[in-house]
Homo-oligomer: A and B are copies of this chain.
Amino acid sequence: MNFDFSDDEKRLKEEAHGFLNDRCPPKAVRRVLEGELPFDRDLWRGVAELGWTGAAIPEAYGGVGLGHVGLCALAEELGAALAPIPFASSIYLAAEALLLAGTEAQKSRWLPKLATGQLIGTIAVAEGAEARSGKPLATSAEGGRLSGTKLPVADGAYADIAIVAARTAKSPLALYVVELNQPEIDRAPVKTIDPSRGHARLTFRGAKAEPLGSEADGEAILKRLYDRAAILVGFEQVGGASVALDMACNYARERYAFGRPIGSQQAVKHKLADVYCAVELARSNAYWGAWALGADAPELPLAAATARVAGSRAFYVASKENIQVHGGMGFTWEGDCHLYYRRAKHLALMLGAAPEWKEKLVNEIERRNAA
């Protein structure tokens, strides 16, 4: 039984923790939140230099080949620091999509640059706020040309390439690799609940696009990609939730009211004990996901859904009750509580909301029971 990070992974995690403590304090997040920067380019360069962007990319494609469990360890720290960089878009989604479905030529062309952080990738699936509608995609591809509008696209305003989902004559959803610096693409930043992560509207007017995987497999690839990303995001959620819980505990120990620390009141203690339970359940479920990802186990879809549901709940609850414990100060712009609350809801929505994942989870159990 070894249901924990290895010693090497723990060392990596500790180093990441130290680096991010130094380079990504809340005031760095705030610079992006308040619109001073579109994202933290210095931090991005820093993590790339440390090899994090290439952590799970094989050495053959310029990566470090550390494997996905190591990437999970990094994700937890990036989540804890609320890192305002396109890590998830570029690594969990764009690079992973290429690894999953790219041709040799595509992998050789893009992965080395994604691995070094030289290029930024993202994914463009949603078409407007009503992203769960299940309506046919309006974005279409024909003869290597893409037309339509994608919104919201994380990091869309400054990413170099995007994996784009489009309808074709033969398939309701096929994937394409698209270079974003084309005159046939308009990009405009849009407001979201978490301005510390940039989002954009992308309009394609006959933009050049290269198929990723076969047209027929688009939906299957996307599902698999989202399952894998859900585990990595699950670690970001666990990281963020733990920090929110720590903040609340620290404040509850230090803040006095009625002549005693507010943390000596059961209303506060018991609230935080419940948050702790949510966070630990999420952590254990995320570990299961890490194992499934590392072992490419058949349990992966189930572990992914479980980690995602647990992680989304834990971070949301921890961040919301962190505000409550902080009282009025927790509700000020100057206080840092809202950074976590915003990120929690953003992460809970980015790969689809809890109801979708609960449905996937039960589907998966039914499938396994039928088998």
Q: Which residues of A contact B (CB under 8 A)?
A: 265-267, 270
Residue of B nearest to A271 (CB): B270
With a cutoff of 8 Å between Cβ atoms, the chain B residues found around residue A267 in the complex are 266-267, 270
The answer for the CA separation of A265 and B266 in the assembled complex, in Å, is: 7
**Copies in the assembly, this chain:** 2
The answer for the CA separation of A265 and B270 in the assembled complex, in Å, is: 11
Residue of B nearest to A267 (CB): B266
A63 → chain B, closest Cβ, in Å? 51
A341 → chain B, closest Cβ, in Å? 23
The answer for the CA separation of A72 and B270 in the assembled complex, in Å, is: 39
With a cutoff of 8 Å between Cβ atoms, the chain B residues found around residue A270 in the complex are 266-267
The answer for the CA separation of A270 and B265 in the assembled complex, in Å, is: 11
With a cutoff of 8 Å between Cβ atoms, the chain B residues found around residue A266 in the complex are 265-267, 270
The answer for the CA separation of A78 and B217 in the assembled complex, in Å, is: 65
The answer for the CA separation of A22 and B353 in the assembled complex, in Å, is: 56
6 of the cross-chain contacts (CB-CB < 8 Å) are A265-B266, A266-B266, A266-B267, A266-B270, A267-B267, A267-B270
The answer for the CA separation of A155 and B265 in the assembled complex, in Å, is: 49
The answer for the CA separation of A267 and B264 in the assembled complex, in Å, is: 12
The answer for the CA separation of A267 and B272 in the assembled complex, in Å, is: 13
Closest 6 CB pairs of A and B: A266-B266, A266-B267, A267-B270, A265-B266, A266-B270, A267-B267
Residue of B nearest to A270 (CB): B267
The answer for the CA separation of A267 and B267 in the assembled complex, in Å, is: 6
The answer for the CA separation of A265 and B267 in the assembled complex, in Å, is: 9
Residue of B nearest to A268 (CB): B266
The answer for the CA separation of A266 and B266 in the assembled complex, in Å, is: 5
A206 → chain B, closest Cβ, in Å? 44
The answer for the CA separation of A61 and B270 in the assembled complex, in Å, is: 58
The answer for the CA separation of A267 and B266 in the assembled complex, in Å, is: 6
The answer for the CA separation of A270 and B269 in the assembled complex, in Å, is: 13
A88 → chain B, closest Cβ, in Å? 37
A252 → chain B, closest Cβ, in Å? 13
Residue of B nearest to A265 (CB): B266
The answer for the CA separation of A266 and B264 in the assembled complex, in Å, is: 11
With a cutoff of 8 Å between Cβ atoms, the chain B residues found around residue A265 in the complex are 266
A204 → chain B, closest Cβ, in Å? 40
The answer for the CA separation of A265 and B269 in the assembled complex, in Å, is: 12
The answer for the CA separation of A267 and B265 in the assembled complex, in Å, is: 9
A194 → chain B, closest Cβ, in Å? 31
The answer for the CA separation of A89 and B331 in the assembled complex, in Å, is: 54
A202 → chain B, closest Cβ, in Å? 38
A343 → chain B, closest Cβ, in Å? 29
